[in-house]
Amino acid sequence: MGCRTLPELKPSQTVRIVQTVQTREGEWQTSVEGKIISVASKPTGSWFAHGKNDRLWLKRLRLQKEDGEFVDLILDHDSVVTILE
The domain limits of the chain are 14-83
Mean pLDDT of 52-68: 83
For residue 1, what pLDDT is reported? 40
Model's pTM, two decimal places?
Answer: 0.77
Burial (CB count <10 Å: 0-12, 13-18, 19+), residue 72: exposed
Please spell the DSSP secondary structure of the chain, one letter per residue. -PPPPPPP--TT-EEEEEEEEEETTEEEEEEEEEEEEEEEEEE-S-SSS--GGGS-EEEEEEEE-TTS-EEEEEE-TT-EEEE--
For residue 48, what pLDDT is reported? 57
pLDDT by residue (tens digit) across 16-58? 999 998 899 999 999 999 999 999 988 776 555 555 555 677 8
pLDDT band at 65 (very low <50, low <70, confident <90, very high): very high
| Cα 85 to Cα 80: distance, rounded to the nearest angstrom | 16
Q: Is the pLDDT of residue 12 over 90?
A: yes
